[in-house]
Amino acid sequence: MGLPADAVGVVTALAVDAAGIGAYEWDLATGDLRWDARTIELFGYTPETWTRSIDGFTERLHPDDVGPTMAAIQRAIDSCGEYALEYRVLLPTGETRWVAARGRALPGDDGATAKLVGAAYDTTATHEAEARVARVLESIPTAFFSLDRRWRFTYVNAEAERILASPRDQLIGRDVWELFPAAVGTAFERHYRHAMETGLAASFEEYYPEPLDRWYEVRAWPSPDGLSVYFLDISDRRAAQDRVTQAARRAALTARVTAELAESLETEEAVARLAQLVVPDLADWCVVTVVEDSSNGGHGHLRDIASWHVDEERRADVAEYASRRLGSLADDAFLTRALTSSELILVPSDATAAVQRVLLPGRARDLLDVLRPGSAAVLPMRARGRTVGALSLFSGSQRAPMTPDEVTTAEEVAGRAALALDNARLYRQQRTIAEGFQRSLLTDPPQPDHLEIAVRYHPAAEAAQVGGDWYDAFMQPDGATVLVIGDVAGHDIAAAATMSQVRSVLRGIAVTTEAAPAALLERVDRALRTLDTGAIATAVVARLEQEEDELHRGVTRLRWSNAGHPDPMLVAEDGTVTPLSARKPEPLLGLLPDSARTDVELTLERGATLVLYTDGLVERRDQPLREGMVRLRETLAELAALPLEELCDELLARMVPESPPDDVALVAIRLHPQDVPRPPEAGPSDVPPDVPEDPAGT
């Protein structure tokens, strides 16, 4: 649905400004509300269900957002001006989507507003990210609030609500100086403004008069968005300033540990950073140990994964000690006792001699004469009844042994690290099971004598290690070889289950009917509708055929049909790469079950390589599909001379990032000469029973 010429410039500018997600136009005279396809999808409509009325817009809005949204639009109409707002959309699936919109009123001949044009885009991901940060902030025992650069509250956690004696809905969006006038002209204002102006963090203590009437320790960190403020009521402990300071540092340590464990994708790496986080707040040096496997009731294999010393010159000594001590532990070593009993082990004094007594003679014991710990503590890391590691803390004789408060903090840190490690273990188990399920669906391909087939599957890093991508290669009873590549949306067990249904239906129809690709896809379309699977998928089906005369000429006929999938790539023996494009785009599987599909035929020379792949190979959040396709062609041209298996491995290594956001399926086939034996690198031939071994048997 196009827009009138006089609105194109405005809509284009707004769409670009709003990330180009969707555009709309509302004719106030007729009431006709035109949305483009992106906006229709954004609100959960289809072109058939969209009513082109303002009622269709408001009925999808969250009830709390209808009034403010329509009021902002009305102000723009009344003033013939612009508006910018954000609201929630309630989708038919029950999900809530955040949408940001910008619009502008356009005047008619009489100068009054005649139309509204605008653009909208999805901001759900931003809100979810903010929610994750908020959950971390809500979990810390310190009051926290943030201000924008106009001194308005943008966030207040629960502890800040309690101390400020105001609920957050009475603070958010309000000016801090208006709400707390007693702070004007005090150290609060001076430090906050200095931090905002200079970009330097501020830390101070100050008394706030009535109505709060308390002393506070305040830390303020500036950022491009404004100011983040942590504050702690120290009124009852003003005489014990050192204790207050240490408590705040321990709270900050816990918050840092929480943030590290919450934000890192690699949990073990985050736990390893504990060594640097707890030094020097809790100890002068530290060693972090994990238990490799305690699933059978024992303690499994121990591994020291990190160490740290407050003195840079001693870090190499601590690292060497950590690398050697596990092999030197006596049966009654403190680490062993802590892991066995699941209890804290404290060595309040003379730790050097005490630890040496439970180490076997050797380099590890000798290093303690260099490190000279005066006190030590070994804290088991336990979660869900399992011991998953230990935190060993050491301090020199110049430092007092750990206080009860420090021990409590250390136990909390160890507990959070243990929970993160155990969560990671459970997640790995889930991933292993899920990936095993997925790989069980992706069977090994046949190996006809004149063809070499290679397949690959690479799961997404950020999901459950399963998804809707699949490949397939099999032979029909007439001797033809069929290749399939497809993609069902999603990266979870549900997507894999749907993929399994589509794959099984396609396989069964292909083998029993010996249908050509287009006819096969048409029958799959109808079968999916009849079975009411609800599946929507992209797919390419290719069939390699050869008649007797083609065998003598050394060529093979390729017939394929494409259901909305990225184009396969044909690599000639000389390295020329050609995308195999359909004559016209055809719908996805399951979308229009009664659509007629077409075959495309091509004659392939021996030595040619055909590569089918899913979009995870070429599409990235920061890379458009077109750029990915160009890069794929260039890479295939460079790799054309490699054996097929090496080509597939190198292609994935170059094209797929270390932590891919999407799964990738790949099937490649190379046509070897038929007048010579199959090359050794292609492996042995493998043809199913009852399938003609003669490739021209059809």
Mean pLDDT of 29-55: 92
Residue 637 reports pLDDT greater than 70 = yes
The pair phi, psi for residue 157, each rounded to 5°, is -85, 175
Give residue 296's pLDDT band: very low, low, confident or very high (50, 70, 90).
very low
Closest CA to 518 of 401, 638, 436, 599: 599
Comparing 56-60, 298-302, 694-698, the range with the smallest average pLDDT is: 694-698
What pLDDT does 297 receive?
A: 44
Residue 232 reports pLDDT greater than 80 = yes
What pLDDT does 15 receive?
A: 46
Q: What is the pLDDT of residues 163-197, one digit of tens each?
A: 888 999 999 999 999 999 999 999 999 999 999 99
Q: What is the pLDDT of residues 109-160, one digit of tens each?
A: 888 999 999 999 998 888 887 777 777 777 777 899 999 999 999 999 989 9
Residue 29 reports pLDDT greater than 70 = yes
Residue 464 reports pLDDT greater than 60 = no
Residue 567 reports pLDDT greater than 80 = yes
**Predicted TM-score (pTM) above 0.95:** no
What pLDDT does 261 receive?
A: 74
Architecture of domain 294-429: 2-Layer Sandwich (3.30)
Residue 696 reports pLDDT greater than 60 = no
- Radius of gyration over every alpha carbon of the chain, rounded to an integer in angstroms: 33
Instruction: Give the CATH number of domain 5-122.
Output: 3.30.450.20
Structure tokens at 358: 């439970």
For 413-456, the three-class secondary structure string (H helix, E strand, C coil) is HHHHHHHHHHHHHHHHHHHHHHHHHHHHHCCCCCECCCEEEEEE
Q: What is the pLDDT of residues 316-327, one digit of tens each?
A: 999 999 999 999
- Distant-in-sequence, close-in-space partners of 684: CB < 8 Å, separation ≥ 6: 447, 678
What pLDDT does 465 receive?
A: 56
Structure tokens at 573: 């023996």
Mean pLDDT of 604-619: 94
What pLDDT does 449 receive?
A: 77
Mean pLDDT of 396-421: 89
Rounded CA separation 232/414 (Å): 24
Q: Kindly list the domain boundaries of the chain, sorted by start residue.
A: 5-122, 127-254, 294-429, 442-673
Across the chain, which distance is largest between two alpha carbons, in Å?
100
Looking at domain 127-254, its CATH superfamily turns out to be PAS domain (3.30.450.20)
Q: What is the pLDDT of residues 502-543, one digit of tens each?
A: 999 999 999 999 899 999 999 999 999 998 888 899 999 999
Residue 309 reports pLDDT greater than 70 = yes
- Distant-in-sequence, close-in-space partners of 150: CB < 8 Å, separation ≥ 6: 175
What pLDDT does 19 receive?
A: 56
| 127-254 and 294-429 have identical folds | yes
Q: What is the pLDDT of residues 470-512, one digit of tens each?
A: 999 999 988 899 999 999 877 677 777 888 889 999 999 999 9
Instruction: Give the CATH number of domain 442-673.
Output: 3.60.40.10
What pLDDT does 680 receive?
A: 82
